[in-house]
Structure 1
Amino acid sequence: MIGLVLAAGAGRRLRPYTDTLPKALVPVDGDKTVLDLTLGNFAEVELRDVAVVIGYRGEAVVERRAALEKKYGVKLHLIDNDKAEVWNNAYSLWCARDVLTEGVILANGDTVHPVSVEKTLLAERGRGRKVLLALDTVKNLADEEMKVVADPGKGVRRITKLMDPAEATGEYIGVTLIEADAAADLADALKTTFERDPDLYYEDGYQELVNRGFRIDVAPIGDVPWVEIDNHDDLGRGREIACRY
Structure 2
Amino acid sequence: MIGLVLAAGAGRRLRPYTDTLPKALVPVDGETTVLDLTLGNFAEIGLTEAAIVVGYRKEAVYERKAALEAKYGLKLTLVDNDKAEEWNNAYSLWCARDVLAEGVILANGDTVHPVSVERTLLAARGDGRRIILALDTVKQLADEEMKVVTAEGKGVTRITKLMDPAAATGEYIGVTLIEPEAAADLADALRATFERDPDLYYEDGYQELVNRGFTIDTAPIGEVQWVEIDNHDDLAKGRGIACLY
Place the TM-score, normalised by the shorter chain, in its bin: over 0.9
Counterpart code for 1:50? A
State the distance in 1 between where 2:78 and 2:213 align. 32
Partner of 2:42: 42
Partner of 1:191: 191
Deviation (angstroms), 1:152? 2.2
State the distance in 2 between where 1:75 and 1:101 align. 17
Partner of 2:87: 87
Partner of 2:163: 163
Q: Deviations over 1:107-140 (max 9, x none)?
A: 0000000000000000011110000000000000
State the distance in 2 between where 1:208 and 1:102 align. 22
State the distance in 2 between where 1:240 and 1:127 align. 38
Q: Deviations over 1:206-232 (max 9, x none)?
A: 000000000000000000000000000
How many equivalent pairs are there? 245
Deviation (angstroms), 1:47? 1.1
1:135 aligned counterpart, secondary structure: strand
Normalising by the residue count of structure 1, what TM-score does the alignment of the two structures yield? Answer: 1.00
Partner of 1:135: 135
2:66 aligned counterpart, secondary structure: helix
Unmatched 5+ residue regions in structure 1? none
**Match status 1:153 vs 2:119:** no
Q: Deviations over 1:84-128 (max 9, x none)?
A: 000000000000000100000000000000000000000011110
Q: Cα RMSD between the aligned structures?
A: 0.3
Counterpart code for 2:12? R
**Match status 1:26 vs 2:52:** no
Q: Percent identity?
A: 83
2:119 aligned counterpart, secondary structure: helix
4+ aligned runs moved over 3 Å, structure 1: none
Partner of 2:214: 214
